[in-house]
C-alpha cells in the first residue's frame, strides 16, 4: 500500500464491478477504508469482503438509499472523507425510439444519482471541513457522442455542469469536487453489451491503440481523491487514450514509411 489515502474513509457508489471496483481496489491499495454501495448485492459483498470493507445495498436514484449509504459509512468507520459516484446505465436507443420512461431512467440514475450522492455526503464533509467528491462522467456528452446515446450524453454533460456548480458552492468548506471523463473502457459491461466488431472499431479510433482499463480510471480517481489534488476543483480529467484528439480517421503516423 502506498499510504496516499491512509485511514481515509471512501464510499464508492457503483463499486461492485467494472470501473467502480477498479477505483475501490486502487483506493484500498492506497490505504483507504472502503465502503461499497451498489444494487448488485452478491458481487458487491464479495468486492467489499476482498477489500476488507463494508457493503450497503444502494439504489443511488433514491434519496433514502443515498443517505443510508453515507450513514453506514460513518457508522462503520467513524467518518467520510471521499465519495465516488460511479453508478450509471447506458442503454443504446435512437432518440426517435426513446420512450420517456427510458429517458427518465437514464437521467435519474446517472444525473439525479450524482446530485443525491453529493447532497448526502455534504453535511458530514461540511462539518469536518474536508472532503473529496469524485464523479464518473464520460467523454460521451461533454466532448463527443454517437447515435443511440442521446439520453446518456445528456446525463453526462449534466454531470459536468453539476461538478462546476458544486465545486463553487462547497469550496468554503474544504471540499473539492471533480470528475473523470473515461473514454472506451474494457469492462464486463462493454464485453456483454458491445460486439467484438464494435470493440475493434473503438481500438482503431484510439491513438494509443487500445481500450482503457478500470485501473486507468482508478489512477486518475486516486489523484483527485488525494491531498496532491487539494488545489484542484470544478474540473474533469479526460482518460481516453487520445480518442478525442484526431480531426479525422487518417491520424496515424508511420515513421517507417516514406511520405
Is-catalytic flag, 152?
yes
Query: Which H helix or E strand runs over 182?
Result: strand 175-182
Residue of 152, 173, 198, 231 marked catalytic: 152
In this structure, the dihedral spanned by the alpha carbons of residues 165, 233, 55 and 73, taken in order and rounded to 10 degrees, is -90
What is the DSSP-derived secondary structure letter of residue 212? Answer: B
In this structure, the dihedral spanned by the alpha carbons of residues 226, 228, 233 and 239, taken in order and rounded to 10 degrees, is -80
Q: Angle 150-170/100-107 helices, nearest 10 degrees?
A: 30
Helix (H, G, I), strand (E, B) or coil at 178: strand
> Do the Cβ atoms of 27 and 9 come closer than 8 Å?
no
Burial class (CB in 10 A: 0-12, 13-18, 19+), 257: exposed
Q: How far apart are CA 66 and CA 117, in angstroms?
A: 6
- Give me the active site residues, please: 152
Amino acid at each position: 500500500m502506498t499510504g496516499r489515502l491512509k485511514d481515509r474513509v471512501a464510499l464508492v457508489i457503483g463499486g461492485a464491478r467494472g470501473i467502480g471496483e477498479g477505483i475501490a481496489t486502487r483506493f484500498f491499495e492506497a490505504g483507504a477504508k472502503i465502503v461499497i454501495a451498489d444494487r448488485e448485492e452478491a458481487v458487491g459483498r464479495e468486492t467489499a469482503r476482498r477489500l476488507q470493507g463494508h457493503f450497503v445495498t444502494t439504489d443511488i436514484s433514491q434519496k433514502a438509499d443515498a443517505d443510508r449509504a453515507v450513514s453506514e459509512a460513518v457508522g462503520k468507520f467513524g467518518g467520510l472523507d471521499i465519495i465516488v459516484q460511479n453508478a450509471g446505465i447506458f442503454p443504446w436507443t435512437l432518440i426517435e425510439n426513446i420512450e420517456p420512461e427510458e429517458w427518465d431512467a437514464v437521467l435519474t440514475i446517472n444525473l439525479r444519482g450524482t446530485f443525491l450522492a453529493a447532497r448526502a455526503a455534504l453535511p458530514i464533509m461540511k462539518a469536518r471541513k474536508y472532503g473529496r467528491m469524485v464523479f464518473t462522467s464520460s467523454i460521451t456528452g461533454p466532448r463527443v457522442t454517437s447515435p443511440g446515446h442521446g439520453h446518456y450524453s445528456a446525463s453526462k454533460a449534466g454531470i459536468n455542469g453539476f461538478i462546476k456548480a458544486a465545486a463553487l458552492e462547497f469550496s468554503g468548506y474544504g471540499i473539492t469536487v471533480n470528475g473523470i471523463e473515461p473514454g472506451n473502457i474494457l469492462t464486463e459491461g462493454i464485453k456483454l453489451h458491445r460486439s467484438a466488431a464494435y470493440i475493434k472499431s473503438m481500438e482503431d479510433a484510439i491513438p494509443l491503440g487500445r481500450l482503457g482499463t478500470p485501473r486507468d480510471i482508478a489512477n486518475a480517481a486516486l489523484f483527485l481523491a488525494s491531498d496532491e489534488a487539494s488545489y484542484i476543483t470544478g474540473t474533469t480529467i479526460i482518460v481516453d487514450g487520445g480518442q478525442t484528439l484526431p480531426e479525422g480517421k487518417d491520424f496515424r503516423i508511420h515513421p517507417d514509411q516514406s511520405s
